[in-house]
Amino acid sequence: MVLKKRYVLGFVIIMGLTFIGVKRFANSQSNLDKISKENKVYIIKENDNGQTYGSELSSTEYNNGPDLISVEMENGETGYVYRDEFYDNANQPNNPEEAVAYMEMVEKNVKKYGYYKLIPVYKEDGKTKIGSFEIGGN
pLDDT tens digit string along 50-69? 999 988 876 555 567 899 99
Counting the structural domains of the chain, the total is: 1
User: Which domain range does residue 21 map to?
Assistant: 2-135
Beta partners for 119? 133
Span 87-108, mean pLDDT?
90
Query: What's 90's DSSP letter?
Result: G
Q: Which run of H or E residues covers position 118?
A: strand 117-122
Beta partners for 35? none
Q: What is the pLDDT of residue 127?
A: 97
Contact between 53 and 45 (Cβ < 8 Å): yes
Residue 84 has pLDDT above 70, yes or no: yes
User: CA-to-CA distance for 14 and 32, rounded, in angstroms?
Assistant: 26
Q: What is the pLDDT of residue 28?
A: 58
Confidence band of 136 (pLDDT split at 50, 70, 90): confident
Beta partners for 79? 71
Confidence band of 18 (pLDDT split at 50, 70, 90): low
DSSP, collapsed to helix, strand or coil, labels residue 115 as coil
Confidence band of 9 (pLDDT split at 50, 70, 90): low
Work out the number of other CB atoms within 10 angstroms of the CB of residue 30: 10
Q: What is the pLDDT of residue 116?
A: 82
Q: What is the pLDDT of residue 65?
A: 80
DSSP, collapsed to helix, strand or coil, labels residue 83 as helix
How many angstroms separate the Cα of 81 from the Cα of each of 2, 101, 120, 133?
39, 25, 6, 8
Dihedral sign for Cα atoms in the order 82, 85, 90, 95:
negative
Confidence band of 115 (pLDDT split at 50, 70, 90): confident
